Amino acid sequence: MTRIGIILGSTRPGRNGEAVAHWVHDLAVKRGDAEYELIDLLDYHLPHLDEIVPPIMGQYSQPHTFKWAEKIASFDGFVMVTPEYNHSTSGALKNAIDFLYAEWNNKAVGFVSYGSVGGARAVEHLRLVAGQLKLADVSPQVMFTMRDDFENYSVFTPGEQQPAALNAMLDELVSWSKALATVRSAS
């Protein structure tokens, strides 16, 4: 079965992303079209990138990198749940992405974002990064605004249109993830 990792891209204390990622996971598993797993960056204890050799070489030396690489390699596609900090994604998510290279290649990625303008600028940056890593990004995305989808900017209360937006993104993500499995097997 196609495996999709839902990456919780914030490690900040009191993070809003935890409720968002659990919402994504809870709705996704009900679909039955793939196996979905929540991946919390807090569980991987990744320091600021500390590998001597560039990730494109695949010559990892740190135990935390091997653990992270094994987890990411086990998936066919990803949903990245990202906050928007200063017109970009979180440093923690970018750092986690930068640890690896081949483990991302020829897989699909979709985005769920949140922030003052729905996290749109964070996703804009992540789409550029995805291209460099040979990740196929799907066009539909889910955006939560702090004003409309969070009560008092902290209690997650997604709008009634959001499940349909998530399902549209997941439809494409699963489809692309399945298609890219043939590309990976041909390599």
Question: For residue 14, what are its two tokens?
Answer: 């009191």
Place of tokens 């955006």: 143
Counted domains in the chain: 1
- Cα–Cα distance, 11 to 33 (Å, whole number): 29
- Cα–Cα distance, 107 to 11 (Å, whole number): 24
Q: What percent of the chain has pLDDT over 70?
A: 100
pLDDT tens-place string over residues 104-161: 999 999 999 999 999 999 999 999 999 999 999 999 999 999 999 999 999 999 999 9
Is the pLDDT at 184 greater than 90? The verdict is: yes
Domain coverage including residue 155: 3-186
Is the pLDDT at 4 greater than 90? The verdict is: yes
Burial of 51 from C-beta contacts in 10 A (0-12 / 13-18 / 19+): middle
Residues 7-35 have a mean pLDDT of 98
CATH of the domain at 91: 3.40.50.360
Q: pLDDT tier at 52 (50, 70, 90 boundaries)?
A: very high
- Cα–Cα distance, 64 to 69 (Å, whole number): 9
Is the pLDDT at 174 greater than 90? The verdict is: yes
pLDDT tens-place string over residues 58-86: 999 999 999 999 999 999 999 999 999 99
Q: Which pLDDT does position 82 carry in this prediction? A: 98
